[in-house]
Amino acid sequence: MNDADIPQASASQPLDERVNNRSQRPSSDAFKAFMASNWAQARQQLPERDAVAGHAAARRRAVSLQFKGERLVIPAGPLKVRSNDCDYRFRPHSGFAHLTGLGVDHEPDAVLILEPVAEGTGDDAGNHRATLYFRPLAGRDTEQFYADSRSGEFWVGARPTLAEFKARLGLETADIGGLELAITKNVGAPEIGGISIRLVRKVDENIDALVDTARYNTAKDPENLDLGVLDALDDKLTEALSELRLLKDEWEIGQLKTAVAATVQGFTEVVKALPRALTHHRGERVVEGAFFARAREEGNELGYDTIAAAGNNATVLHWTRNTGRINAGELLLLDAGVEADSLYTADITRTLPANGTFTGVQRKVYEAVLDAADAGFAAAQPGTRFRDIHTAATTVLAERLAEWGLLPVSVQEAISAEGQQHRRWMPHGTSHHLGLDVHDCAQAKRELYLDGVLTAGMVFTIEPGLYFKNEDLAIPEEYRGIGVRIEDDILMTAEGPVNLSAALPRKADDVESWMAGIYQEADNQPA
């Protein structure tokens, strides 16, 4: 068939419209008139202010004080196509969520703009006035109501109005139709009365292009404009938003506790599912599914792809295929976290004996990792440095490896910067910050992260491990195929560290008793 054989109406239809051919929606005037009539009156009462609103306002003020006189543009990001006309579940950029307080009640394509004003005259005596631009709810008398499968209420449910978001967030709102002007007006060099822009880049390509075009069009010498220099200025905004999250406020800590509690329940569901997992050809998927069900029931989503790794798969640090069997006598390494509706996530790992009982060598490796975790916890005190946790934990692991005859050098040589032989079996870091992102604050400066001083309000993980691969000829056969990691979520307070995930058993005996209790309770449940 050639182009001449294609009916003209089909050939002329744009590709981006063809995905709607399946809908077969009527287009008659009679249908449109009928669809626009006889709907109940839209909701009138405005909602109460969200508990997070004051905290989000304080975060915006903190950013405002750092960037006096500059327009700050923080996009939520667009929907992303998963396949054809189906999108992934939307999640806004974490910087946007942090500064607005929006979790699952969000809008794709929304943008937060902090507009500079005279010093001290902005929101909360800051240097900016903030406005949230988004696509408001379309009236039921509009075609969008039933025709737009991405944003129409008939397809995706009701969305907040401008007035509702303003009431909930204590934040000025505006129709997204005015976004382009809000971003580009008066852009130019400050020395000639213009306003410079800082943008969180690589979130929304359309906003990136809009800002770049505005900068080019207003530059004194556009032909020699160095966008790389401007990108570096933008990076400073991204860095500042990341560093702002290093210390969690009271509301954030509450959300993390909620996520941890749901995750603990998810681990319980996994233990309940293990008997079936042991009989399934993809038992790891049974485990993954059991945890995911709890994540969706109690929260918004998984905080990250679940690692449900049995046997030798547990020695693969980021095993998320979860396609393997779980055999009795093996260990199951489960690394999973529930993301709360606020988008704050837990991140917990437990290593469980698949049949409920550790073997002798499994217990030996497990208890070495537990000792390392405890050493890291002891080192995590107010005023010490973040990297001290790693040093304390890995030193214990080096000592155990030496005791077992696995370390080819002395402990002192191994833990020196020139050695590091023990890291063959523990190649990852021991801790990372936790919050809106599972690896939170990742754009923070090194001196505030690895070399940062542990301070009340920080939330981070402690997660040492040992991973002995089947193919590792440097170790005796009895160790091969054993992977162990123990990970807890830690809140730093002025008095010291608090283990938020302590409700999940950690000691080997306690793990075995916990699993046995769950099985006994399940057996006693009425049919």
Residues 6+ apart with CB under 8 A from 27: none
pLDDT of res. 11: 64
The span from the CA of 113 to the CA of 441, in Å, is 21
- Given a cut of 90, is residue 130 above it in pLDDT? yes
Q: What is the average pLDDT across 201-206?
A: 97
Is pLDDT above 90 for 321?
Answer: yes
Using a CB cutoff of 8 Å and minimum separation of 24, what contacts does 280-284 make?
Answer: 280/325, 280/326, 281/325, 282/322, 282/323, 282/324, 282/325, 283/310, 283/324, 283/325, 283/326, 284/308, 284/309, 284/310, 284/313, 284/322, 284/323, 284/324, 284/325, 284/326
Q: Spell out the alpha helix ranges (H) of 380-460.
A: 386-403, 411-415
At residue 527 the predicted structure's pLDDT band, cuts being 50, 70 and 90, is very low
Burial per residue of 160-185, b for 16 or more beta-carbon CB atoms within 10 angstroms, e otherwise: bebebbbbbbbbbbbebeebeebbbe
Cβ neighbours, 10 Å, residue 456? 13
Kindly tell me if the per-residue pLDDT of 381 is higher than 80.
Answer: yes
Q: Which of 85-99, 137-151, 382-396, 468-482 has the lowest mean pLDDT?
A: 137-151
Q: Backbone dihedral region of 496: left (phi > 0), alpha (psi from -120 to 50 degrees) or beta?
A: left
Task: Quote the pLDDT of residue 267.
Answer: 98
As a whole number, the mean pLDDT across the chain is 93
Q: Which residue has the tokens 């050098």?
A: 409
What is the per-residue pLDDT across 27-70, written as a single tens digit (0 to 9) for each? 899 999 999 899 888 767 999 999 999 999 999 999 999 999 99
Of 200, 206, 338, 218, the residue nearest 270 (C-alpha) = 338
Angle at Cα 326 formed by Cα 267 and Cα 286, nearest 5°?
A: 50
**Residue 192: pLDDT band with limits 50, 70, 90:** confident
Rounded to an integer, what distance in angstroms lies between the CA atom of residue 373 and that of residue 369?
A: 6
Ordered domains of the chain (ranges, CATH): 53-244 (3.40.350.10), 250-524 (3.90.230.10)
Q: Which pTM was predicted?
A: 0.94
Contact 512, 262 (CB under 8 A): no
Using DSSP bridges, classify how beta strands 172-175 and 128-134 pair: parallel, antiparallel or unpaired: parallel
Judged against a pLDDT cut of 50, whether residue 526 lies above it is answered with: no
Give the pLDDT score at 7: 54
Total Cβ atoms within 10 A of residue 51: 12
Let me know: does 269 contact 291? Beta carbons within 8 Å.
Answer: yes
Name the H helices within 74-191: 94-100, 144-147, 153-156, 162-169, 179-184
159 CB neighbour count, 10 Å cutoff: 18
**Mean pLDDT of the 267-273 span:** 98
Q: Report the run of H or E that residue 213 belongs to, with start and end.
A: helix 205-218
Joined together, the tokens standing for residue 167 give: 């009431």
Is residue 137 very low, low, confident or very high in pLDDT (cuts 50, 70, 90)?
confident
Q: Can you read off the two tokens belonging to residue 242?
A: 């990341």
Residue with tokens 């543009």: 73
Pick from 189-193, 257-261, 486-490, 506-510: least confident: 189-193
pLDDT of residue 208: 96
Q: What gap in Å lies between CA 499 and CA 495, rounded to an integer? A: 13
Q: How confident is the model at residue 2 (pLDDT cuts 50, 70, 90)?
A: low
Q: Provide the pLDDT confidence category of residue 84 given band limits of 50, 70 and 90.
A: confident
